[in-house]
A and B are shown apart, each in its own frame.
Chain A
């Protein structure tokens, strides 16, 4: 299994966000040497992590904690809400936000949350 850094994907992302790779590297504080060194490597994720993801049959991303600060994560989610509601003005903003929040959780966490709240109604 390989886990290469995809220059083409990064380049495409930069284009959709209206900048180029050089600007991205400057903004992110990543040197060109580091970037192109990483881009040449066959595997940029530790092999042990790849083995764990293969054994669990999940993508590597499922094993990693989101290191974005909570505030930034919320801002990004809110931007996603605004973008979706702009395209679909008939949607309820709260429903969109709550759905996006749940999509960031794993299915077991989602069902436990739904059951805890549903059962709490019985106990009230």
Chain B
């Protein structure tokens, strides 16, 4: 399967439409870490919304012929549709402050013509530490080393020529 099929035009358009509708959300979890340069793997892209259900999200889903599936006693809220299956909805983040507090600490990431907010590597690490599941413990060392590497590279860049940063963190 071609690599672009895992995050192609449809997925980018979904995020772009959310951004265009001023829906308050951020990309969190390992997908946010990967976007910032951490060498991790992930199976989906976790999105944290200020509120669920969310009128803006539902409007975007209608435009893209997607659906919002409300939570039940046994299942979390979900979204579906072409180019949307890759995204999971997150309703709570361990070890973090409120959505708005965390939103103010996010880093902007330009994807083509629009910008999305992503949880910083520092806050992803804080969340993983707090969650402390086996899968979190397994990835913590990689995330911490990635953060230290990014900081070291930025410091080297600041001491060198133009100080231009390579990632949004």
A binding-site residues for B, Cβ under 8 Å = 9, 12-13, 16, 57-59, 61, 80, 83-84, 87-88, 91-92, 95-96, 98-104, 107-108, 110-119, 121-122
Closest chain-B Cβ to A111's Cβ sits at a distance in Å of 5
Q: Are A100 and B153 also in contact (CB < 8 A) when A9-B162, A108-B111 are?
A: yes
Q: Tell me if A's interface is mostly helix, strand, loop or mixed.
A: helix
Given A95-B141, A96-B145, A115 contacting B162 (CB threshold 8 A): no
Q: Besides the contacts A84-B149, A119-B43, what 12 more A-B pairs have beta carbons closer than 8 Å?
A: A9-B162, A13-B160, A16-B160, A88-B148, A91-B145, A92-B142, A102-B37, A103-B166, A113-B34, A118-B42, A118-B43, A118-B44
B residues lining the A interface (CB < 8 Å): 1, 3-4, 6-7, 12, 30-31, 34-45, 86, 109-111, 141-142, 145-146, 148-150, 152-153, 156, 159-162, 164, 166-167
Q: How many residue pairs at the A-B interface have CB separations less than 8 Å?
A: 108
Q: How far is the CA of A124 from the CA of B117 in the complex (A)?
A: 33
Name the distance in Å between B131's Cβ and chain A's nearest Cβ: 18
Bound-state Cα–Cα, A118 to B150, Å:
23
Q: Is the CB of A9 within 8 A of B164?
A: no
| Chain A residues, Cβ within 8 Å of B4 | 112
- Report the Cα distance A103→B38, complex, angstroms: 8
Contact of A111 among B7, B150, B161 (CB under 8 A): B7
Select from chain A the residue with minimum beta-carbon distance to B155. Answer: A87
29 contacts between A and B (CB under 8 A): A13-B161, A57-B110, A84-B148, A84-B152, A88-B148, A91-B149, A95-B141, A95-B145, A96-B149, A98-B39, A99-B39, A99-B145, A101-B39, A102-B34, A103-B37, A107-B36, A110-B36, A111-B35, A111-B45, A113-B3, A115-B6, A115-B42, A115-B44, A116-B3, A118-B41, A118-B42, A118-B44, A119-B43, A122-B43
Known: A95-B141, A99-B146, A111-B31. A61 touches B43 (CB 8 A): no
CA gap between A116 and B30 in the complex, in Å: 13
- The docked-state distance in angstroms from the alpha carbon of A95 to that of B139 is 11
A92 touches B41 (CB 8 A): no
Minimum CB–CB distance from A41 to chain B (whole Å) comes to 18
**Closest Cβ of chain A: how far from B85's Cβ, in Å?**
11
